[in-house]
Amino acid sequence: GAVVSQHPSRVICKSGTSVKIECRSLDFQATTMFWYRQFPKKSLMLMATSNEGSKATYEQGVEKDKFLINHASLTLSTLTVTSAHPEDSSFYICSARVSGRGTEAFFGQGTRLTVV
Amino acid sequence: LAKTTQPISMDSYEGQEVNITCSHNNIATNDYITWYQQFPSQGPRFIIQGYKTKVTNEVASLFIPADRKSSTLSLPRVSLSDTAVYYCLVGFSGNTGKLIFGQGTTLQVKP
């Protein structure tokens, strides 16, 4: 199956700093990727849709200046949490679809962000 | 996007068959039904998808009645390692293929 790789798996940063999370499609090209965040014992919440070569589309209530998304190539999307604060601590997950696979989507392993 | 309703939690014992039902009364004609599994601190993993009747793969079976307003994920002979959260999703929102997750069902398999 298709593989989506996310890096880093865990990161701890100081309040006020920025953190970049990478999401790569290893064996397929992904024109569209999706970013989610998940709080403990809660479901995944879609943050934004990352489009290769164009601006990301953010869900209502998600601050686009806070969560910068760049999708510069067909295999890489990045999420940068800018000026992180403790309330940004969460589990961030990316995903991508493969053309022709219907409703099947592939997810990265997730990134645990802790802001201290 | 069709909203889904699942039980919040279920308990089972090793070796039993587990059936998790999902309601999706507003499913559209072109919508597919997909199930995902998520372990703690991991991304979700695709289990199975279907459109109508029955679909079976090496992991699970998916039963969809004729009206498609519900679906049932069937896990045969569960083991402790099947303890996870199971999400039922229907169709795609908009044209970009994004997936909107509902609350999911937490399955606890006991020895």
Q: Amino acid identity of A88? A: D
Averaged pLDDT, A24-44: 93
Inter-chain residue contact B43 with A6, CB threshold 8 Å: yes
Do B63 and B54 meet the contact criterion of CB atoms below 8 Å apart?
A: yes
Q: Amino acid identity of A103? A: T
pLDDT at B16: 97
Query: Chain A within 8 Å of B50 (Cβ-Cβ)?
Result: no
pLDDT at A2: 81
pLDDT at B95: 54
Instruction: Name residue A96's beta-bridge partners.
Output: A33, A106
C-alpha A72/C-alpha A77 separation (Å) is: 7
C-alpha B11/C-alpha A77 separation (Å) is: 38
Q: Which helix (H) or strand (E) holds B73?
A: strand B70-75
- Please tell me which residue of chain A has the smallest CA distance to B89: A103
pLDDT above 70 (res B36): yes
Averaged pLDDT, A69-78: 92
**Helix (H), strand (E) counts: chain A:** 0, 11
Reported confidence tier of residue A104, pLDDT bands at 50, 70, 90: confident
Output the CA angle B107-B109-B111, nearest 5 degrees.
170
**Least-confidence region, from A15-19, A95-99, B54-58, B60-64:** A95-99
Query: Chain A within 8 Å of B9 (Cβ-Cβ)?
Result: no
Do B9 and B105 meet the contact criterion of CB atoms below 8 Å apart?
A: yes
In B, which residues are within 8 Å of A91 by CB distance? 41
Q: Amino acid identity of A82? A: T
Model confidence over B7-26: pLDDT tens digits?
999 999 999 999 999 999 99
pLDDT at B91: 81
Model confidence over B53-88: pLDDT tens digits?
999 999 999 999 999 999 999 999 999 999 999 999
pLDDT at B1: 58
Reported confidence tier of residue A72, pLDDT bands at 50, 70, 90: confident
Distances, alpha carbon B57 to alpha carbons A89, B89, B103, B111, in Å: 37, 18, 24, 25
Reported confidence tier of residue A52, pLDDT bands at 50, 70, 90: confident
A99: Cβ contacts below 8 Å, ≥ 6 apart: none
Test mutation, A58, A93, A103, A104, chain B, max B CBs within 10 A: A103
Distances, alpha carbon B48 to alpha carbons B29, B39, B71, B74, in Å: 19, 16, 12, 10
pLDDT at B100: 86
Do B110 and B12 meet the contact criterion of CB atoms below 8 Å apart?
A: yes
Distances, alpha carbon A32 to alpha carbons A63, A77, B49, B67, in Å: 20, 9, 20, 32
Task: Retrieve residue A7's tokens.
Answer: 């890096």
Average pLDDT score over chain A: 93
Test mutation, B52, B96, B106, chain A, max A CBs within 10 A: B96
Averaged pLDDT, A32-55: 93
